[in-house]
Structure 1
């Protein structure tokens, strides 16, 4: 009756036969065979396979949802019966990039590891907006606004933006009196070439032109200090350079205040204890 259920849930959790096999330390063919036998016993198809991906059928979605509830209840029942205090252990995979991730989030995670030494952390500093579910990440740190409805977003920190230029650049640059004047300037692009500003009729986007694009904020800072153009960066990244007079803030009255860094994780019925504890720990540290 129970044969193959743990393998089915592993495939659902990992998103592929090969990743499930790796987690369970079995062969991919064993996983495939167990899923096939489970479907034969149930008399229904749970997973649609293609050469590149697998997808749950409607029956598979309903079945997985009920199994996850049962699985969690079994874990809770065992712990209650044995009087065991859960000790979090195992890997947590996190993706993120930038100074905020390196200088603020990573130190907090290090403190979490001191508290729970049986947890192992893998941080991938990747500026690419990876698919958490497809690529097998537990958490992500992202800046901006959430687009993927499959994910849950919890705010870590509000991060207002600044428009910046060096004194040398401003000496010879065209006038800049409103966001629309950015069309006449070279802009240094970090994430998007559409910059958002408060205008008379609400928040509007201005499409900017650039001969410099980088997903590393420090590279943007160096280009801006060198007088190559105007940068649009988070306040916490640029504040020290403004204080020293190396960069000049511009059009402060037009800046939006809805930007933030977010803790992102997939919508799941069953989140491992170690991941739940890290989520709670980071929210506590930042809030």
Structure 2
């Protein structure tokens, strides 16, 4: 029995607050993860987790042990990455996260092409519109948009995205096209996850608060509502550009388009950045840029 046995399973379970979620993350069975954590507790003669039928939570001892285990795992993974870099191979497991729509359309195809060039690399890509805590959840890499504020992370700009206002021709035939930002107040708007739309007025950026009958935190659902004529939407260009190109949507107030937002690769501060992360970031920069 290795002294490492159970540590990865414990960290994954503590972060996910669930044996089943930890099992999915590690590619193991739920019973196997639970068994390894129980064996670890038995070796330590200490309860690390409280277990209920709905969730798992840390004991005080478990919380202190989790912090040390994360340090151990980071040091171990850096050592393994250094060996991998010495023999010129990209290998091992890389965990990353990205928003759903952008990930499906752009990041996943780029990652798949990277994996074809590096057959010893495994990638777990989690598509989630929530902003994940990649340090505490054990991710190697995340793709994010806009302004970044987490000082624990290093960020590298990969590309940019533009938010565009647009509406279907059927809606504009009924309601007319707005010619100023102020005119948007009299229009039906299709709302996404945010309460305000960034727009540019002269040299300054303003936040316009739209009103409408439909709201959804899915960009694809907002796009569908706009295509059906429910109102004006503001979405990143990768959602709307194809529909604008074939005439299903009409761009609006293009002089008031906000400044481009950055698309960033972000990863934790490490003394040695693993080759798998460094090379994938370089590949994404070439592909997405």
Fold shared by both chains (TM-score > 0.5) = yes
Alignment of 1:20-169 (within 5 A): 27-32=36-41, 52-53=57-58, 72=78, 76=82, 84-98=87-101, 100-169=102-171
SS at match of 1:132: coil
Give the direction of change, closer, same or farther, for the CA distance of 1:274–1:73 in structure 2 (3 Å limit): closer
Distance 1:52 1:178, change over 3 A: farther
Structure 1: runs of 5 or more not aligned: 38-47
Contact 1:7/1:35 (8 A) holds in 2: no
**What is the alpha-carbon root mean square deviation over aligned residues?**
4.1
Deviation at 1:112, TM superposition (A): 0.8
**Residue in structure 1 matched with residue 254 of structure 2 by the alignment:** 252
TM value normalised by structure 2:
0.71
Asked if structure 1 preserves the Cα contact closer than 8 Å seen for 2:94 and 2:140, the reply is: no
Matched with 1:40 is none
Cα 1:116/1:66, change in 2 over 3 Å: closer
Determine the structure 1 residue equivalent to 2:179.
Answer: 177
| Count of aligned pairs | 270
Rounded Cα–Cα distance in structure 1 between residues aligned with 2:155 and 2:140:
13
* Residue of 212, 217, 220 corresponding to 2:219: 217
Aligned to 1:262, which of 261, 264, 281? Answer: 264
SS at match of 1:233: strand
Taking structure 1 as reference, are residues 129 and 68 closer, same or farther at Cα in structure 2, changes over 3 Å only? Answer: closer
- Per mean C-alpha deviation after superposition, the further-off stretch among 218-227 and 246-255 is 218-227
Deviations 1:140-194 (A, max 9, x none): 3333332444333322221122110122212332662322332222211233121
Task: Give 1:196 shift.
Answer: 0.7
Question: Are 2:163 and 2:234, in contact at CA under 8 Å, matched by a contact in 1?
Answer: yes
What is the CA distance between 1:239 and its match in structure 2?
Answer: 2.1
CA distance in 2, matches of 1:93, 1:74: 18
Is the Cα contact below 8 Å between 2:168 and 2:248 reproduced in 1? Answer: yes
How far did 1:106 drift? 1.3
**Residue 111 of structure 1: how far off its partner (Å):** 0.9
Unaligned runs of at least 5 residues, structure 2? 51-55
CA spacing shift, 1:6–1:279, aligned 2, 3 Å: farther
Q: Aligned partners of 1:75 and 1:109: how far apart in 2?
A: 19
